[in-house]
Chain A
Amino acid sequence: MKPWLAVAATVAALGIVPALLPAFYVTLFGYVGLASLVALGLVLLTGISGQTSFGQASFVGLAAYATTLLTKFAGAPPIAGLVVGLAVTGSVAWLLGLITARLSGHFLALVSVAWGISFFSLFGTIPLLRGFNGIGGIPPLTLGALSAANPRVNLAVIWAVVAAIMLLSANLLDSRIGRAIRTLNGARLMGESVGIDTARLSRAVFVIAALYAGLAGFLFAHFQRFISPTPFSLGASIDYLFMVIIGGAAFLWGAPVGAILVVVLRDQFNDWIPRLTGQPGDYEALVFSLVVILLLQRAPGGLMPLLLRLRPRKRPDVAAETASDATPALSIAPTGAPTGAPTGAPTAAAGAPGPELLAVESVTRHFGGLAANQDVSFAVRAGEIVALIGPNGAGKTTLFNVISGVLPPSAGRVRLFGTAGGHLAPRRIAALGLARTFQHVKLLGGRSVLENVALGAHASGRAGVLRCMLRLDRKEERRILADARAQATLVGLGDVLDRPAGDLPLGQQRVVEIARALCLRPRLLLLDEPAAGLRLQEKQRLALLLGQLRAEGMGVLLVEHDMDFVMQLADRVVVMDFGQKISEGLPAQVQADPLVREAYLGSVA
């Protein structure tokens, strides 16, 4: 397997080659390895999940001091220091994450500055830790009779750990949890709609990043065998973040690349600048910061994207891709069409509607003084398609958000699947069997269509962070991906499974959302303008699919502006205007309703 080989080769090079060089390089590359560990955590945290921390060095310090106290003063074996150190850093991170759980990301970042300073100050003032004099004589790592007092052995140990962490992280990103983590970066609402507990997950990522830092701290203490507060300062934390920015925050490889550059260049600067200027100064920080500013402005992705561009591109299928551009997926072929679907346009009320799935009861929703929904009531039963129509600003999308739990109603209630109708979080509603799409498409644009669709199957999996890291999730993952492939093929995306979702035309992106929703195996499907941006053939195909789903007993509620589409497909139509329901009935009845005609003022074709 290629990633394994790449990791193994690089790490061997960095862990073994410097070992043959003078002692100075052994130490230097030891630091590079330790910094890579911390930076890997920051890649997950900053680049992938869109949070950030200016306090990672204090996690390094917590674990370093924990293992020092245990092994030097209490005589415990290093393994105890490791366990306790990780437990301490993990718990502290978990608590800090809990405190800022519901605030937006920059609060976590600001608070991390505060705790970074606080811990640094504590390391320096708690008498037991001996302040800035530091603690020396920390025992080296031992394994049975083997001792790693030799720096060269230490170097190998450090890089073996880096390799392991890189592989675990790569495994994690390529899994159910990895997909979910990516929704944390700007698509939390979508994540919740497929059943992801985003608050808990972002806390988990934060804890993982802290544990990586803690691991580095443990190794640092036993590698250097002397610790003082200095390497755990706020400045050190920011250095780690700069490494990630320079290397490329969205790439695991960005961590070692950034770490090498920053550690090695900083060392060179320290040699060179005093020689050039004749006086010591903080020039190297100045130069580095200017480089970071330029990178943020000109190449926010860091160096990794530039390095990847140097690599020979192995994508000869460009022609094939453009070809599939010309033939939109939905119109490709009837081969992917649902089996047993009616051949003509589906007729309304194909089967008798089943039990009630959704009851909207006198729902009112205010925004300040504006009533976006006023006393709205209607129901959707199994095996029927209900269309919600109305002029722009009638309150349809607000009602969707109330039904799917994004917004609580100001008054009235929403009863789903016969529940009592209290306000539930979107992910709980998703678990009950409601799936939705969004008016403004919410996809992971850079990820493949398949991955996006597989997000819908998130709640059907059980594998947690650890299982994903250790690849114990493969059976489940195969099932999820097979499921996603099936649903994507069903809606006609079979030919574009591997393309980045963001590259598809908007109409097809909506279809990706539908496939994702279907992966939830919902009993009730909420579609917000599914036909917008689709061509005629594509619309026909969508209508066919929805008819098939109805025949299988699914309830569908859709908001749509395309009247031909609605009138042809819907069993019943609910019309809203200025937040109120003004009409409800069969398509023909609604079309004949003078109130409806007035509301649309001729905008009905």
Chain B
Amino acid sequence: MDPFIFFALLQDGITTGAIYLLLAIGLLIVFSATRVIFVPQGDLLAFGALTAAGLQSGHVPATLWLLDGLSAAALLASLTGGVRAAGRALLVWGVYPAVVSLASVWLARREIPAVSILLALAIVTPMGPLIWRFAYRPMADASVLALLILSMALHFVLIGLGLVFFGPEEASVPALSTANFTIGALDISGQSLCVLGAAVALVVGLGWFFGATVQGKALRAAASDPLGARLVGIDAGATGSLAFGLAAFIAALAGVLIGALTPLSYDAGFEIGLKGFVAAIMGGLVSYPMAAAGALLVGVLESLGSFWASAYREVIVFTLLIPVLLWLSLRRGSDEDRA
């Protein structure tokens, strides 16, 4: 193979690998804190990309009305929880969506790329906690499998909404950088560097969050021992909310990043999310470094695969799971008997 083509494919692979890495991190955070396998994360990725694209083309995206609707419902539901809870809910589910809505309506016409992207993040991120609140939390004690089936159903709900909101057309997000660097004969795109930079920043930021902040430590505690965490007063609802918020933010971020590299349609998020899963599974759904390595491997393999055997690209990526699972299977004893 031509070394330049190889380098281009490698760059491509590492860039998408970084996106998968972001998603794998989001999945692991949610799974360890709540045992939910968050399939709809991929759909939130599409929401993020298409919301940014919509704002950039001067539309007020329909995801905003979804945010407003769900927030209003959360606000109503919190009225039964006493004055203090209601006050806090008013701030989170009343004031915040109002501000975001006004800003979106006002700023959508100006079509400033950075503003569109920030607003998209602001609109999609709260959907994580809202989805947790209305879909998962009512059955938070159910088995992992039941939660997984719920995730699948939720995926279809979001896909259905996505089609209604955005139509079947593909759309692109404005790139954060259109620069192109040339080192020798090699081209490096600025957007690729942005993706890598965002991935590194997120990893460092999360490292700090989990290591140094009270919320981060609470999340870790809830992940390693849910009952113990509850006994020392860590609110399971709040940790779940936080985990889903982080995952939704990560998904939206991944969406606005990848949406600049390739146009996305409303249903494109699922498969991207699944590849994040492949990476997360490589880490046995527990290890972040293994998941990171897996994400890069998936990205590169997919990129090379698309060159050699593009029709079988998906098959190659998912077949990768087989040796990984065999290895996990042999290494690990049975961990059944979930009550």
Contacts and interface: CB of A to CB of B under 8 A. Distances in A.
Interface of A: 46, 50-52, 54, 99-107, 109-111, 113-115, 117-118, 121-122, 125, 186-189, 198-199, 238, 241-242, 245, 281-283, 285-286, 288-290, 292-293, 296-297, 300
Interface string B292-319: 0000000000000000000110110011
A115 B318 contact: yes
Nearest to A298: B138
Contacts of A50: 143, 145
Contacts of B315: 118, 121-122
20 contacts: A52-B145, A102-B329, A102-B333, A103-B329, A103-B332, A103-B335, A113-B277, A121-B314, A125-B312, A186-B337, A189-B337, A198-B336, A238-B152, A241-B149, A282-B159, A285-B160, A286-B159, A289-B153, A292-B153, A300-B142
A477 B293 CA distance: 53
Which 8 A-B pairs have CB atoms at the shortest separation, nearest pair first? A286-B160, A289-B156, A114-B318, A292-B153, A188-B336, A125-B311, A289-B153, A289-B157
Contact of A186 (B155, B281, B339): B339
A105 B329 contact: no
B98 interface: no
Nearest to A287: B160
Interface of B: 37, 135, 138-139, 142-146, 148-150, 152-157, 159-161, 163-164, 271, 274, 277-278, 281, 311-312, 314-315, 318-319, 321-322, 325-326, 328-330, 332-339
A122 B319 CA distance: 12
A28 B159 CA distance: 26
Given A110-B148, A110-B277, A293-B135, 8 more contacts: A107-B281, A114-B318, A115-B318, A121-B315, A199-B334, A283-B164, A286-B156, A290-B153
Contacts of B143: 50
Given A54-B152, A125-B312, A285-B160, A111 B325 contact: yes
A189 B336 contact: yes
B271 A297 contact: no
A106 B318 contact: no
B160 A282 contact: yes
Contacts of A290: 153, 157
A300 B143 CA distance: 11
A50 B338 CA distance: 10
B337 A188 contact: yes
Contacts of B322: 99
B152 A300 contact: no
A292 B160 CA distance: 14
B160 A114 contact: no
A51 B311 CA distance: 32
A106 B148 contact: yes
Contacts of A199: 334
A547 to B, nearest CB: 33
A300 B161 contact: no
A300 B311 contact: no
Contacts of A286: 156-157, 159-161, 164
Contact of B163 (A100, A102, A106, A281): A281
A109 B145 contact: yes
Contacts of A241: 149, 152
B337 A117 contact: no
Given A52-B145, A104-B336, A106-B37, A297 B329 contact: no
B278 A114 contact: yes
A296 B146 contact: yes
Contact of B318 (A100, A102, A117): A117
Nearest to A131: B311
A106 B144 contact: yes
B8 to A, nearest CB: 25
A100 B330 CA distance: 10
Contacts of A104: 144, 335-336, 338
A113 B37 CA distance: 13
Given A104-B338, A121-B314, A285-B160, A111 B150 contact: no
Contacts of B311: 121, 125
Contacts of B164: 281, 283, 286
A122 to B, nearest CB: 6
Contacts of A122: 312, 315
Which of B277, B311, B339 has the most CB atoms of chain A within a 10 A radius of its CB?
A: B311
A245 B277 contact: no
Contact of A109 (B148, B153, B335): B148
B325 A117 contact: no
A106 B145 contact: yes
Contact of A293 (B154, B319, B339): B154
B329 A101 contact: yes
A188 B336 CA distance: 7
B149 to A, nearest CB: 6
B261 to A, nearest CB: 22
A105 B156 contact: no
A188 B334 contact: yes
Contacts of B154: 289, 293
Which of A103, A118, A121, A288 has the most CB atoms of chain B within a 10 A radius of its CB?
A: A103
A293 B147 CA distance: 10
B65 to A, nearest CB: 16
A296 B312 CA distance: 36
Nearest to A286: B160
A501 B44 CA distance: 45
A102 B149 CA distance: 21
B334 A118 contact: no
A187 B329 CA distance: 20
Contacts of A293: 135, 150, 153-154, 157
A429 to B, nearest CB: 16
A114 B282 CA distance: 13
A423 to B, nearest CB: 12
B337 A187 contact: yes
A46 B143 CA distance: 12
Contact of B326 (A99, A105, A288, A297): A99
A54 B312 CA distance: 21
Given A105-B145, A106-B144, A109-B148, A117 B271 contact: yes
Nearest to B150: A296
Contacts of A102: 329-330, 332-334
Contacts of B339: 186
Contacts of B326: 99
A303 B330 CA distance: 40
Nearest to B310: A125
Nearest to B281: A110
Given A102-B332, A198-B336, A107 B153 contact: no
Nearest to A237: B152
A377 B121 CA distance: 63
A46 B148 CA distance: 12
B159 A117 contact: no
A315 B29 CA distance: 49
Contacts of A118: 314-315, 318-319
A189 B338 CA distance: 10
